[in-house]
């Protein structure tokens, strides 16, 4: 299968809605187009998923057999790594070496959750409820962990293979049937992954791929009365809409992995030779389009000038370019819409009188490239640049004097996805980690992630957790069975 095959295949998919162009963000050229599946397709997909949930063709399969299917999916992802990485590059503008890594991470999601298929269990107790009434009454009580019948899986464009695997692996391990909607900007790799699921032995109708806009296909999934759970990754604004949809339809359960504005604290005793490049990488990688990017850096006053200069130098040294351009380390923003959003924030900052140390402009070439941008002299209480998620290669740097001020500045945000502290003082590192209001804290490391550990956001960065044991729990509900003895 080649990229061209996928571009042709998506064009032929049936749909009843608008025609949606797919744009190469590095060249602004149209790659292909597809038709929004439309609301009837959502109804049909949910009906197919419901049939499989009721028949138990997947949830009732022997656990070890389900595990083998997941393991086969992982192997097939590895076998198709080149085409998946190529699609990731072409569609999302990700440099080839990084796209290869993302694909590898994708297959490991399935291997990790293959192991969970045989380890889903509840608790059991013998209970004497007679203690309170004085009448002896003995029961054997146990819990069953049961999959949600139909889950809606919706995710963004910033890592299409990663996002697909992060949702499908645990939901399949749990035994759920699903309807799946990738972002309208980046649906290409989902076609290959969908084919891989079938080839690996996922029965027809268990996973149902839907392609379309968020306000059409996505909204129809979240409001569907038969969808019992929605697992969503995306912006906080859309997360809120999903909560409204649940409240006004069937109160379906929701897991939300949302936006961030993650702080990075650099103390004066930090190893600056490590902290400066890592903080730069952690903010500009993927043009700042990763949810955990450290977009607010705070440096202790005595090292502030060195940190600003060091990050600006790194920003100026990072080579931007499309996936076909030799040596490019950072790709483009995903779309014209995202470009306008980032430039809008920069214009607003300039009007507010912030200082642009470097960057602040679009590159004079084809493609949605913005020069990595370092901003200082920002008012943390009023600046939108400081407060709002830009999701672009823009970082603010502010000074602080002591631990209390550093923590207060870091926590001055409605988001709480991730945070980092760079310091050689072990006691301070752990004290600060405890005080930071974030779902993930890195101490002398940044952007760390592993399948085996939970991931989720504090404050308006999310509800619930994905990954690790918590990730499988996301797709399970608990039934408590009381048996009179
Ligand atoms: P988005 O919220 O606009 O879209 C995400 C997905 O939701 C897309 O598939 C979209 O089509 C769909 N959608 C849009 N409106 C919808 C609606 N009304 N109902 C149902 N679905 C709808 O986000 P985006 O711009 O694609 O992605 C960027 C955002 O994702 C950033 O805020 C980023 O921080 C966040 N993100 C979070 C994590 C995390 O794990 N916390 C990971 C990656 C990205």
Give the Cβ contact number of residue 301 at 10 Å: 12
Nearest to 37 by CA among 213, 182, 251: 213
Ligand 1 lined by 457 (C-beta under 6 Å): yes
Residue 425 lies in a domain: yes
Ligand 1 centre and the CA of 46: distance in Å? 21
Residue 449 lies in a domain: no
Ligand 1 centre and the CA of 183: distance in Å? 8
CA dihedral for 467, 87, 287, 185, sign (positive or negative): negative
Does residue 480 sit in helix, strand or coil? Answer: strand
Residue 453 lies in a domain: no
Nearest to 243 by CA among 253, 233, 257: 253
Q: Using most ligand atoms within 8 A of CB, pick from 20, 152, 167, 214 the residue to mutate for ligand 1.
A: 214
- Active-site annotation holder among 257, 388, 466, 473: 257
Same domain, 254 and 379: no
d(CA 265, CA 177): 43
65 annotated active-site: no
Residue 47 lies in a domain: yes
**Count of structural domains within the chain:** 2
Residue 201 lies in a domain: yes
Same domain, 332 and 196: no
Same domain, 274 and 199: no
Same domain, 177 and 326: no
Ligand 1 centre and the CA of 424: distance in Å? 37
Same domain, 57 and 160: yes
Distance of CA 75 to the CA centre of its chain: 23
- Closest ligand 1 atom to the C-alpha of 239? 2
What's the confidence (pLDDT) of residue 205?
98
Residue 392 lies in a domain: yes
Which stretches of the chain score pLDDT less than 50?
Answer: none
What's the confidence (pLDDT) of residue 297?
98
What's the confidence (pLDDT) of residue 462?
98
First to last CA, the chain: 60
Ligand 1 centre and the CA of 130: distance in Å? 51
d(CA 272, CA 193): 42
What's the confidence (pLDDT) of residue 129?
82
Q: Which helix (H) or strand (E) holds 459?
A: strand 458-459
Ligand 1 lined by 156 (C-beta under 6 Å): yes
Same domain, 175 and 277: no
Same domain, 208 and 129: yes
Instruction: Note down the domain range covering 300.
Output: 262-443
What's the confidence (pLDDT) of residue 161?
97
Give the Cβ contact number of residue 211 at 10 Å: 24
**CATH code at 433?**
3.40.309.10
Does residue 134 sit in helix, strand or coil? Answer: coil
Ligand 1 lined by 158 (C-beta under 6 Å): yes
Same domain, 252 and 275: no
Pick the residue whose CA is nearest to atom 16 on ligand 1. Answer: 214
In sequence order, the β-bridge partners of residue 399 are 299
Distance of CA 405 to the CA centre of its chain: 30
Contact by Cβ (8 Å): 193, 164: yes
Residue 188 lies in a domain: yes
User: Which whole-number Å values give the CA distances from 461 to 263, 281, 380, 406, 418, in the listed order?
Assistant: 13, 22, 19, 20, 9
d(CA 18, CA 193): 24
Same domain, 7 and 130: yes
Residue 183 lies in a domain: yes
Ligand 1 lined by 335 (C-beta under 6 Å): no
Same domain, 232 and 305: no
Residues in the chain: 485
- Closest ligand 1 atom to the C-alpha of 257? 41
What's the confidence (pLDDT) of residue 136?
83
Same domain, 210 and 292: no
**CATH code at 193?**
3.40.605.10
Same domain, 102 and 186: yes
d(CA 467, CA 167): 9
């Amino acid at each position: 299968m080649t990229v061209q095959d996928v571009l042709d295949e998506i064009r032929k998919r049936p749909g009843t809605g608008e025609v949606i162009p797919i744009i190469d963000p590095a060249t602004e050229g149209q790659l292909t187009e597809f038709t929004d599946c439309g609301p009837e397709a959502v109804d049909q997909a949910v009906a197919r998923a419901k049939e499989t949930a009721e028949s138990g063709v997947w949830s009732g399969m022997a656990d070890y057999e389900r595990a083998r299917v997941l393991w086969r999916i992982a192997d097939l992802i590895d076998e198709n790594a080149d085409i998946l990485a190529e699609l990731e590059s072409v569609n999302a503008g990700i440099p080839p070496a990084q796209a290869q890594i993302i694909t590898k991470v994708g297959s490991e999601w399935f291997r990790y959750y293959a192991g969970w298929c045989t380890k889903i269990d509840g608790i059991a107790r013998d209970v004497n409820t007679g203690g309170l009434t004085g009448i002896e009454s003995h029961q054997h009580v146990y819990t069953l962990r049961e999959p949600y019948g139909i889950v809606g899986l919706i995710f963004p464009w910033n890592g299409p293979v990663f996002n697909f695997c992060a949702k499908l692996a645990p939901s399949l391990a749990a035994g759920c049937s699903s309807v799946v909607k990738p972002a309208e900007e980046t649906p290409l790799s989902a076609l290959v992954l969908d084919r891989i699921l079938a080839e690996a032995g996922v029965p027809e109708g268990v996973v149902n791929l839907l392609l379309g806009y968020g306000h059409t296909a996505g909204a129809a999934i979240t409001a569907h009365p038969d969808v019992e759970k929605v697992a969503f990754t995306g912006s906080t604004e859309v997360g809120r809409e999903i909560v409204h949809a649940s409240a006004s339809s069937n109160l379906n359960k929701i897991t939300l992995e949302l936006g961030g504005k993650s702080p990075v604290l650099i103390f004066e005793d930090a190893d600056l030779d490590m902290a400066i490049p890592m903080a730069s990488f952690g903010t500009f990688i993927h043009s700042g389009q990763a949810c955990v990017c450290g977009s607010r850096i705070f440096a202790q006053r005595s090292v502030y000038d060195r940190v600003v200069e060091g990050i600006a130098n790194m920003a100026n040294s990072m080579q931007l370019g499309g996936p076909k351009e030799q040596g490019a380390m950072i790709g483009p923003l995903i779309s014209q819409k995202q470009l306008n959003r980032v430039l809008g924030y920069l214009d607003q900052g300039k009007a507010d009188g912030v200082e642009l140390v470097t960057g602040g402009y679009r590159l004079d070439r084809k493609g949605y490239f913005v020069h990595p941008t370092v901003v200082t002299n920002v008012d943390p209480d009023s600046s939108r640049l400081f407060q709002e998620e830009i999701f672009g290669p823009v970082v603010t740097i502010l000074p602080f004097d002591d631990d209390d001020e550093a923590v207060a500045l870091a926590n001055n945000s409605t988001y709480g996805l991730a945070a980092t502290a760079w310091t050689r003082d072990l006691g301070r590192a752990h004290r600060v980690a405890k005080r930071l209001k974030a779902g993930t804290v890195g101490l002398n490391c940044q952007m760390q992630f592993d399948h085996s550990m939970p991931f989720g956001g504090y404050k308006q960065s999310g509800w619930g957790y994905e990954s690790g044991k918590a990730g499988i729990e996301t797709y399970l509900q608990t039934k408590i069975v009381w048996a009179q003895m």
